[in-house]
Structure 1
Amino acid sequence: MLKLIYVNPTTGSDRNSGSQQAPLKTITQALKEAASGTKIELVEGQYNATSGEIFPLIVPFGVTIIGNENNKGSGISISGSGEYISRIFARQNITFVLSNGSRLIGVTVTNSASRGTAVWIESSSPTIANCTFINCQREGVFVTGDANPIIQNNIFTQNSASGISITKNSQGQVRGNNCFQTGFGIAIGDRATTKIVDNNIYDNRSGIVVSGDARPVLRENVCELNIQDGLTVVGNALPDIGNNKNSGNNIFRNNGQFDIQNASINKLISINNQVEPHSVNGNIQFFADPEPEPEPIPEPEPTLLPKSTKLTDISGHWGFEFIQELVQLGIVAGFPNRTFRPDATITRSQYAALLVKAFNPQSLREPIVFEDIKENFWAYQVIQQAYQGLFFSGYPGKKFFPNQNIPRIQVIGSLISGLGLTNQVEIDLDIYDDSSKIPNSAQDEIATATQYGLIVNYPKTTILNPNRPATRTEVAVMVYQVLVLIGQVRKIDSPFIIG
């Protein structure tokens, strides 16, 4: 029988019953009362030693801890560390230990202790989803033993060693996560065979590092803009980045040293990955399947969606109101399964299609022939219209790179260019903590966008992340802000709008 326990660190008491009307004060007490099938509901607040927590928090078999799932744990901050004796690695400083069948969903976890790890998974099969792991002194999640976890749709940022470390004989899946501004995005060692699928790994010291005898499977990941390498392979490691039955479909690009560095003793076989041969180092052989035509982005309904129509994955999301308004205007649309995928990235061709729906730009210059876009490509016409309307420019060599994820800085620049906006007042870009990452050529555009309230920064308003791939929600909100500027829609208040 499902049991619900509510926890409120501000108004709760550990002498209460744990009902919604009489919540407990600590997760610690809730775990003492929990049995398999228990769901522990957390309200917003600070969960730490001061509020009464005793770390590490060991989550028993079949117990779920859930907070703010839609906003990746925003407002539910769990911070602390306690001594845990691992059977494999001895004494560790840990916040959470997850047992078989347990689930950690929608919380923000920090372990600022020396060599502190937020979540320890040892020979168990838990699920971690829609969480944020930030400012840990070692890694966000450590996986070891014969573990077989599911780690999906989380944010790993500003952790000293790695976002995720996977060791020993671990398997499992790491899917749909964002790893940025951390040590190694994902580190895989020993004999691990984990599946690493559809993750965005950027702006780290290195993206994915594979060592020891590890044999992970890498599919549909984006590793870009990392300081050193996108993918580093050492020792006897041999990641699967594509085979005869299943293409890799990873993207390795724009990394500081090499997009792929193979320093292992093995030949690395790359099948149908996006990587430039001149940006790799070591023994690597490339094979490519015939490039498939990309699927068109889902078309919205031809008439306005009724108020009762709901997308299934945006309720409670920070961009919910903006997305809903644009859906009803027919500018953005959900997928056939009624999802929006608010935190997914968006390609340059998908963005061109959105621009045309939102602004229907007029032709202000002659068309161009992009060498990498055929006339039968689904987005050929919208790319031409966006280009002729001054919203887009190509790359050198008449390249457009239609399937490349568009960085936030390009979204901002395209809106300023297409609208013909200029900066009327002096803006100090030091309001952004990462202003040093703004290229000199884009500083006027960023200042102009700041002045007109077109920039959206989530979750931290002082972090611009100019080079990170934009999410579908971020693009939707910035386009909506343009529509506000030109008087086409009502203003929506949001703490994440800068201006």
Structure 2
Amino acid sequence: MVNSILVVTLYVNPMTGNDTNTGSRLSPFKSLTRALKVTKISTIIHLESGTYNAASGEVFPLIIPEKATVVGNETNKGIGIVISGSGEYQSPSFGMQNITLLLLENASLLGVTVTNTLAKGTAIWIESAAPTLANNTLRDCGREGVFTTGTAKPTILDNIFVQNTTSGLVMAGHSQGEVLGNVFQRNPLGIVISDFAAPKIANNKLSENRTAIALSRNAQPVLRQNLIAKNTQGGLLVNGNAVPDLGNTEDSGDNIFRDNSEFDLYNGTTQKLISVGNQLNPSLVKGLVELIPASLVAVSTSFSKAPTESPSPQFLEFPNLDGHWAEPFIQALVRMDLIHAFADGSYQPDKPMTRAQYAVLVAIAFNPFPKISAPDFTDVPKDFWAYSAIQIAASGGFVGGFSDRTFRPDQNVQRLQVIVSLVNGLGLPAVDNDILEVYSDRHTIPDYAQKAVATATQQKIIVNYPDPQLLAPLRRATRAEVAAMVYQALVAIGRTSAIKSVYVGLHSRS
């Protein structure tokens, strides 16, 4: 017996819609409120441009239910698709709150702008749930853009937090989850982490805030590869019993603190903090802090060599993969001289891969013929270690930049970005979207990417570990996943032979 979950798609247009319509593409609802009333598990709601507020029929707070997805325009971070308003929500953790949106378990909010201008207003509240927030703009809120509490475990990916009255993001209670690749700008406090919260904060850019990150009580976040620059007071403020993970000799912090006014790192606690492999100005480090430089850390940045260099002979195969699921793909790419090692000779397959590292890999693996003129990205100077590879990958159609003419080379690449990149770069013929039925989370695939994902699925490029049916398109890609998918792309174009793996190919759902 086939067990198939029906995905319902609804459309909302505040300009031309009507709440007596059917909610189809040609007969859209006028309000998100109306769409949410008929939303069930695995519903996708597409929002057209316009303002979603009380005047257009919205009733706040809006509750995005379990496994529902609200999609605007991810490409431009939701510009022109504005949800604005406030309603009362009784939080089990913090009592009555004024919020715009409440996200429940496994809900997704993609490509919209959310604002709550009410005094002490919060745009998005997450209480003991694990939703996904990606490519949104949270701005001009009366208090903060996002508040997480309870046992929340959100994925907060590639959003913009700007000009909120108190802070961009607050994580309290026992919140965990991941905060990756976001921009926090012109907030009094960029990120606030309190109570027992212990999220991972990585690859974010925090600039022009008063203080970039403030920790209190028993917070224990992990901070990796963040750019914390030009904040008018300081970078990282640590109070109470908070103990941030700023790196260790096996996994350096790689955070960059630059041009902050009063301090880069201020430890207001009585416990000594250890900072490993971070770039700080020692004169702007206050309190008990031990600074261990990157030169003493065994791990260095992958692909630190020029793209044309070959790995040293002793690294022709990695001895420490220990039966890792991606070992056959990784070793095959090594034998083809397409990937390089870290400084200690390891590959570190479960680490994320940056956009610069990905550009280097596809430039070497496919050596693409130029299709377009590569733009001059404002954040990739000609002396940048991966400049040539980024130019090759961009002119070959494998990678692109953002609307602000940046490439963001240190940002982690998403699984969806890898999939779309390989299909577009190789110019593979499109197939019907019906093939996407093999994925249990197909409703999380943005409209613009469905053809590419379907094509990559048909070509057996996509590799899903540990669950072959779970695509997880918005999750950051590990070095193992990228290696496996690049290898499979080489198989698809006839450059090498297939490797048998249970994580590759089509799997019927029963």
- TM-score bracket for the superposition, by shorter chain length: 0.5 to 0.7
Kindly, what percent of the aligned residue pairs are identical?
45
1:43 aligns to 2:42 (yes or no): no
For residue 304 of structure 1, report the CA deviation from its aligned partner: 5.5
1:149 aligns with: 154
What pairs with 1:371-382 in structure 2 (closer than 5 Å)? Answer: none
Is 1:261 the equivalent of 2:298?
no
**Aligned partners of 1:139 and 1:162 also within 8 Å:** yes
Higher RCO (CA 8 Å, separation ≥ 6 residues): 2
Residues 1:105 and 2:116 aligned together: no
User: Tell me, what secondary structure is at the counterpart of 2:55?
Assistant: coil
Cα 1:71–1:295, aligned 2, differ >3 Å: closer, same or farther?
Answer: farther
Mapped to 2, the partners of 1:80 and 1:173 lie a distance apart of 27
Corresponding residue number in structure 2 for 1:438: none
The corresponding residue for 1:305 is: 370
**Alignment of 1:191 onto 2:196:** yes
**Which SS does the other structure have where 1:30 is aligned?**
helix
The answer on whether the counterparts of 1:310 and 1:338 sit within 8 Å (CA) in structure 2 is no
Once the 2 structures are TM-superposed, how far is the Cα of residue 199 of structure 1 from its aligned partner? Answer: 0.2
Superposition misfits of 4+ residues, deviation over 4 angstroms? 295-304
Distance 1:335 1:273, change over 3 A: farther
Mapping of 1:395-410 within 5 angstroms?
none
CA contact (8 A) 2:272 2:290 kept: yes
Per the alignment, in what secondary structure is the counterpart of residue 219 of structure 2? coil
Q: Which runs of 5+ in 1 are unaligned?
A: 312-326, 348-499
> What does 1:24-35 align with in structure 2 at a 5 Å threshold?
24-35=29-40
- Displacement of 1:305 in angstroms is 2.8
Q: Pick the aligned partner of 2:129 from 98, 120, 124.
A: 124
Listed one character per residue, the Cα deviations across residues 287-316 of structure 1 (whole Å, up to 9, x for unaligned) are: 123274735564779885347x999xxxxx
**CA distance in structure 2 between the aligned counterparts of 1:337 and 1:161, rounded to whole angstroms:** 41
Matched, 1:234 2:250: no
Question: CA–CA distance in 1 between the matches of 2:270 and 2:249?
Answer: 22
The residue number in structure 2 matching 1:68 is 73
Check the 8 A contact 1:234/1:265 in 2, yes or no: no
Residue of structure 2 in register with 1:283 after alignment: 288
What amino acid is the match of 1:267? K
Q: Distance in 2 between matches of 1:126 and 1:331?
A: 36
* 1:77-476 → structure 2 map (5 Å cutoff): 77-290=82-295, 292=300, 294=304, 296=306, 298=359, 305-306=370-371, 333-334=393-394, 338-342=398-402, 344-345=407-408
- RMSD, aligned CA: 2.5
Aligned residues: 329
For 2:213 and 2:97, the matched residues in 1 are separated by 24
Which residue of structure 1 aligns with residue 7 of structure 2?
2
Question: Residues 174 and 142 of structure 1: is their aligned pair in 2 closer, same or farther, counting only changes over 3 Å?
Answer: same
CA deviation profile, 1:142-185 (whole Å, cap 9, x unmatched) = 01000000001000000011110000100000000000011111
Conserved in 1, the CA contact under 8 Å of 2:370 and 2:395? no
Distance of 1:282 and 1:341 partners within structure 2: 40
Q: Which amino acid aligns with 1:345?
A: R
Secondary structure in structure 1 of the residue aligned to 2:274: strand
Gaps of 5+ in 2: 1-5, 307-355, 376-386, 411-510
Match of 1:22 among 27, 36, 47: 27
**Which whole-Å CA distance do the structure 2 matches of 1:189 and 1:48 have between them?**
32
SS of residue matched to 1:71: coil
Residues 235 and 257, structure 2, Cα contact 8 Å, conserved in 1: yes
Secondary structure class of the residue paired with 1:334: helix
Query: Partners in 1 of 2:43 and 2:82 — Cα distance?
Result: 21
The residue type equivalent to 2:252 in the other structure is: S
- 1:429 alignment partner in structure 2: none
- TM-score normalised to structure 1 length: 0.63
| Contact persistence 2:367–2:392 (CA under 8 A) | no
Letter of the 1:63 counterpart:
A
Tell me how far apart the structure 2 counterparts of residues 181 and 196 of structure 1 sit (CA, whole Å): 18
Q: Please give the secondary structure, in 1, of the residue aligned with 2:164.
A: coil
* CA deviation vs aligned residue, 1:10-46 (integer Å, no higher than 9, x gap): 1101110000000000000100100010000000011
Task: Supply the AA of the counterpart residue of 1:65.
Answer: V
Q: If the length of structure 2 is used for normalisation, what is the TM-score? A: 0.61
- Deviation of the 1:88 alpha carbon: 1.0
